[in-house]
Structure 1
Amino acid sequence: MTDTTVPSGDPTYRGIVYPWHCDHMGHMNVMWYVGKFDEATWTLMARVGLTAGYLRSAGRGMAAVEQQISYRRELLAGDAISIFSEFIEVKEKAVRFRHVMVCDSDGAIAAETTLTGVHIDTGLRKACSFDPAIKARFQLQEQ
């Protein structure tokens, strides 16, 4: 991950680092970065129609198959953060996307992650194609 730009648009997550998010080193533990990135993922997916309601009614799901995280600076209790997200690549059955976590007080990038998610048929537990209407919305988001 060498891209250090922050994606444009509205944030997909906003929150605070709470004291219980911090470890023995006094900074936010890595498990909380992953959790906050996951919350941003569901906001990003909802923007293209992959809402919880759609996934349940259509018998579909999304499964993460790869994730790379780069930690750039510490976050401490009380820090307000925002996550900005973008789609990088959309394929027939998979999507690659990126989240950038920013410390609101100074705009510095705290962490970024790139993920690959696969669209699955939850009954068959196999990858399946995105609905054409959803794939079209992905492409609109990529522009």
Structure 2
Amino acid sequence: METDATYRGTVYPWQCDHVGHMNIMWYVGKFDEANWNMFARLGLTPSYLRETGRGMAGVQQNISYKRELFAGDIVEVKSRLLEIRDKSIRFLHEMRNAETGEISATCEITAVHLDRQAHKSMPFAPEIRNTALKHLSPNEAVPA
């Protein structure tokens, strides 16, 4: 995917727990914001989702915590599309301390494209799938 970040922000003191580092609930929140920026790059924009009655739902999320983040740290998330299937995508976020470049956490997510009215998964529109294929990380296989 692009080298541009899908999320940029900072760690605020109120996001830190009693140990002094950013609490895990805020990692999830920052990864969630990165999700929506990544989806928009694929054409899954807020207007597309509203106008078509479609949505995205996370069905699996695995987070690995590597290094602590503290109040005042600048955070950057970059995202890679790992897999596109008929109705789902799998992607990876890397959260870094923007000052040091160290990876703070990674998050791999599987999300499903759905019809919000029927509450069922549905295939991606061809234009979304074609755009996603262009963003697929090198060396990642496209399932048959």
Q: TM-score, normalised by structure 2?
A: 0.93
Structure 1 partner of 2:127: 133
In 2, Cα distance between the equivalents of 1:64 and 1:49?
A: 17
Structure 1 partner of 2:7: 13
Change over 3 Å in CA distance of 1:88–1:135 after alignment to 2: same
What whole-Å deviation, never above 9, does each CA across 1:77-109 have from its counterpart, x for those lacking one? 000010000100000000000000000111000
Q: Residues 21-32 of structure 1: matches in 2 within 5 Å?
A: 21-32=15-26
Unaligned ranges ≥5, structure 2: 138-144
In 2, Cα distance between the equivalents of 1:61 and 1:122?
A: 6
Structure 2 partner of 1:121: 115
Shift of residue 60, structure 1, vs aligned partner: 0.2
Matched residue of 2:106: which SS?
strand
Q: TM-score, normalised by structure 1?
A: 0.94
Matched residue of 1:27: which SS?
coil
Which amino acid counterpart does residue 114 of structure 2 have in structure 1? I
CA RMSD of aligned residues (A): 1.0
Which amino acid counterpart does residue 112 of structure 2 have in structure 1? V
In 2, Cα distance between the equivalents of 1:125 and 1:104?
A: 39
In 2, Cα distance between the equivalents of 1:124 and 1:64?
A: 17
In 1, Cα distance between the equivalents of 2:32 and 2:104?
A: 16
The answer to whether 1:84 aligns with 2:86 is no
Consecutive aligned runs of 4 or more in structure 1 exceeding 6 Å deviation: none
Q: Residues 61-76 of structure 1: matches in 2 within 5 Å?
A: 61-76=55-70
Which amino acid counterpart does residue 88 of structure 2 have in structure 1? A
In 2, Cα distance between the equivalents of 1:104 and 1:51?
A: 26
Identity %: 50
The answer to whether 1:103 aligns with 2:82 is no
Give the counterpart of 2:37 among 36, 43, 51.
43
Structure 1 partner of 2:142: none
The answer to whether 1:52 aligns with 2:46 is yes
Shift of residue 130, structure 1, vs aligned partner: 0.1
